[in-house]
Every structure is written in structure tokens, then in C-alpha cells.
Amino acid sequence: MAWPPRFLFIGGTLAIDFIHTGGLDVRAKWERWNTPEELADWAEASPDLGFRPTVTEAERKAAWELREAIWEYSRAIVTKERPPQHAADHIARIAATPDLVPTWLDGKRVWRDGAPFSQVMSTVARDAITLFGTAEVEHFRKCANPTCGLTFVDHSRGGKRQWCTMQRCGNLMKAARHRAKTKGETS
Ligand SMILES: [Zn+2]
């Protein structure tokens, strides 16, 4: 995988992949939804969505707002602070609307065709509540590279996953440790 890939699906769950697409301040350089088309591209590429919705500019703006709310909530979880009420309320408001309807295709789950984009947003918001509001949250963590802001749900056996990806942080940190060790041995 060349770094950075256009879209990052390393969050382990839909809501976390959703917030790894850009945002305000330092995250602006990662922005992947500059147009409604790009947001549709993201949904199509997402392993949890996998279909191309129609997205309007107003819906892209609404997606930005939901992304900020989930981002703020997730930061509070990482720093063990109380999640901001406005973020919790925003996520709950979107989750209260109709979500995507699952159906079968050759024994596999797919989403029913022609869903309005608002249903995608509701599914994302519900996923965030399921993650942060249940025991799942115990598997939620930040990448062990202190300068990396990416987070993920650790589904690895033994729960020992440390890095967002080996490409971005795992190899960097291993190389740094190796350098520190080698230096220690020669001096
Ligand atoms: Zn990382």
C-alpha cells in the first residue's frame, strides 16, 4: 500500500473509518471529501458500505458535522475525559433517523439499493453509539506513535494491536527503536 492511500479503512469499524477522512485544523490536510462526488467515492470504497450513494452538497456538509461530533467524542474517550454533550446529542439526533436496510445477495449482507444518503449517516451514527456506548469501547485505542492521531478498534487476537498501520507507524517506530538500541550498544 502506497502511503497515504486515498482512503484509509483501518479503523476496524465504520464510525472510525468515517472520522479518518479529514476535518478541521490539523486534520484539514487529510480532507478526502472536497466534493459530494468524493464522499460518494468514499462510501463506495468502504468495506462496511460498499455501494455508491447519491450525495448532495447539503448532505456533504451534514456529513462534516457528524464527523466533527464523532471525532470530538472519540478524542474524549482517548484522553479519558467526559465526552462533550453537544457531540453526544448530535450523534444521537442522526442515529434517531432511519438507517440502511440490510438484505441478502448470495448469502451475504448488502444494503438495499437506492437508499438516501441520510440512511448512511444514521448507520454511521448508530455504529458510533454501539462502539462508545458498549463494552466495545474497551477495544478502542489510539495508535502507539505519539505523533499519530489515528485510532482503531482492536480486533486482533490477544488485543495487542499497537499501530494504525505498519506502513505508517509500525515500521517507523521499529526503526527508531532499532536505531536507539544500536546506538546504545556502540557507545
Ligand atoms: Zn499511527
Cα distance between residue 20 and residue 103, in whole Å: 27
Ligand 1 centroid, distance to 164 Cα (angstroms): 4
For the entire predicted model, the pTM comes to 0.93
Q: Given its phi and psi angles, is residue 12 left (phi above 0), alpha (psi -120 to 50 degrees) or beta?
A: left
Q: Are 126 and 99 in contact (CB under 8 A)?
A: yes
Ligand 1 centroid, distance to 108 Cα (angstroms): 32
* Length reported for the chain: 187
pLDDT at 185: 59
pLDDT in 10s for each residue of the chain, 187 residues: 577 789 999 999 999 999 999 999 999 999 999 999 999 999 999 999 999 999 999 999 999 999 999 999 999 999 999 999 999 999 999 999 999 999 999 999 999 989 999 999 999 999 999 999 999 999 999 999 999 999 999 999 999 999 999 988 998 888 888 888 887 655 4
pLDDT at 35: 98
Neighbours of 172 (CB within 10 A): 15
pLDDT at 182: 81
Ligand 1 centroid, distance to 163 Cα (angstroms): 5
pLDDT at 53: 97
Ligand 1 centroid, distance to 143 Cα (angstroms): 5
